[in-house]
Structure 1
Amino acid sequence: MNHRYILLYKPYRVLCQFQDQEGRSTLKDYVPVPNVYPAGRLDYDSEGLVLLTNDGWLQHRLTDPRYGHPRTYWVQVEGEPNPAALTQLAEGVVIQGYRTRPAVVQVLAQEPSLPPREPPIRYRRSIPTHWLSLTLREGRNRQVRRMTAAVGLPTLRLVRVAIANLQLSGLAPGEWREVLPQERQALWQACGRRPPRLA
C-alpha cells in the first residue's frame, strides 16, 4: 500500500472530519485526497496543524496516549499568567476529575506572527491578553481550553503549531502539503518504526 502523509493548516471553524450532516465546513473542503484521515483531532474552534494519513500504524502511535508524543500549541489567554498559574499548568491540573500530565509551558515574549482570524478575537481594553506556548503529551477533548480555564486564564485563540517534529510554519490557513521524506523518517523514528533508507 502506498502511504500518504499530509500536513494541513486547519482553519478556524472547520470540522476535523470529512463529512458533516449539519453542512459545516470540513476537511473535504481543503484536502482533495481520498482515503486519508486525521491522526488526532483538532476542535472546530481551534486552528493549526493536522496530519492526515492512511498509515494506520502511525495513526495509532500518534493518538494512543500510552505513547505520549508531544503536541505544541500557541494559546492566547485572557488575563495575566502569574507564576502560580504557570506552575499549575506545568505540573498538571485537575479537569473533569483527571489530573493532566506534566506539560512544558512558557509565556511568549511577543504575539506570534499568525494570520488574522475571521471572525477576529473580541477585544476588551480593560482585560489584557497574553500568549503561551504549551506542549502536551496527551490529547484529551478540549484539554488546553479546560486547563487554562482551571487556572483562571480563559483561552481566546488556540493554534496547534507542532506535532512531534512536524511544524506548521510555511502553511497558510487552508493550505496543505506532503510531508517531506526527511520529516517522515524523523517521525517514524520518534514513533519507534525503523524507517527505510532514503535513496
Structure 2
Amino acid sequence: MTHKHFAIYKPYGYLSQFVNNGQKQNSKKLLGELYDFPLGTMAIGRLDEKSEGLLLLTTDGKTSNHICSGGIEKEYYAQVDGNITIDAINQLSQGIEIGFDGRKYKTAPCKAAILKNIPDFPERSRKIRDDRHGPTSWVSITLKEGKFRQIRKMTSAVGYPTLRLIRVRIGDIYLNNMQVGEVKELIDI
C-alpha cells in the first residue's frame, strides 16, 4: 500500500481531527472540510482549536508514531501579552513547572528566544486585541515534547500569556509561505 503524506496550514478555529466524535452537528470545524483527504488520513500530533500553523497528516500510523514519540523538534512562534524579558526566556529554556493531567510537570529544556522582528503571518480569522491594551512581543520556542497546551502553559507560567500560537516547523518541514488552509502533498516525511 502506498501511503500519502500532507502538510497543512491549520487555520485558527479548526480541530486537528476528521471525525465529529459525537459533538453537535456543525458545531466544530474539522480538517476534512479543507481538502479531499484519502480515507484513513490522520493528524500527526495536534494543534488545539485556537492554535494555527503547520500540521502534518498521513495515512501511515508508523510515520505518525515515529514523529509523535519525541526526538523531533517542533518550533512555534508565540505572540505573548507584554514585553517578555530575557529572564522569562531563560526560565522557559531551562524547563518550567506546569500543570498536566492534574499533576505538576517540569518541561524538558528547550530553545527559546525573543523574535526581534514581527513575523509576517496572514491575519487571523478572529482578531487579537489591539495595541490600546498594551504591548505584545513574539517568541520562538522549539521543543521535542508536546504536552496538552504546553506552550500556552509555559508562557503563562512565566507571566506572559500566549495570545497567538503558530507552529512553523516540524523537523525539517517548514510552514514557510503557505497560506491559511493550504494543503500540500509531500513525497516523504
1:126 shift after superposition: 4.8
Amino acid at match of 1:14: Y
Residue among 45, 53, 65 paired with 1:48: 53
Paired residue secondary structure (2:132): coil
Amino acid at match of 1:27: L
TM-score using structure 1 length:
0.87
Bigger drift between 122-131 and 104-113 goes to 122-131
Amino acid at match of 2:32: K
Paired residue secondary structure (2:29): coil
Structure 1 residue 82 and structure 2 residue 85: aligned? yes
Residue number in structure 2 paired with 1:192: none
Alignment root-mean-square deviation, CA: 1.1
Supply the distance in 2 between the matched residues of 1:87 and 1:170 (Cα, whole angstroms). Answer: 30
TM-score using structure 2 length:
0.92
Supply the distance in 2 between the matched residues of 1:57 and 1:28 (Cα, whole angstroms). Answer: 21
1:19 shift after superposition: 2.2
Residue among 99, 114, 119 paired with 1:107: 114
Which of structure 1's runs of 4+ aligned residues deviate more than 3 A? none
Residue number in structure 2 paired with 1:31: 35
Paired residue secondary structure (2:83): coil
Supply the distance in 2 between the matched residues of 1:39 and 1:118 (Cα, whole angstroms). Answer: 24
User: What is the aligned-residue identity percentage?
Assistant: 41
1:156 shift after superposition: 0.3
Where does structure 1 lack aligned partners over 5 or more consecutive residues?
A: 188-199
Supply the distance in 2 between the matched residues of 1:84 and 1:48 (Cα, whole angstroms). Answer: 27
For residues 128-172 of structure 1, what are the alpha-carbon distances to aligned partners after superposition, in whole Å with 9 as ceiling and x for unaligned?
A: 100001101101000000000000000000000111111111311
Amino acid at match of 2:146: G
Supply the distance in 2 between the matched residues of 1:31 and 1:160 (Cα, whole angstroms). Answer: 20
Amino acid at match of 2:167: R
1:127 shift after superposition: 1.7
| Number of aligned residues | 180
1:6 shift after superposition: 0.3
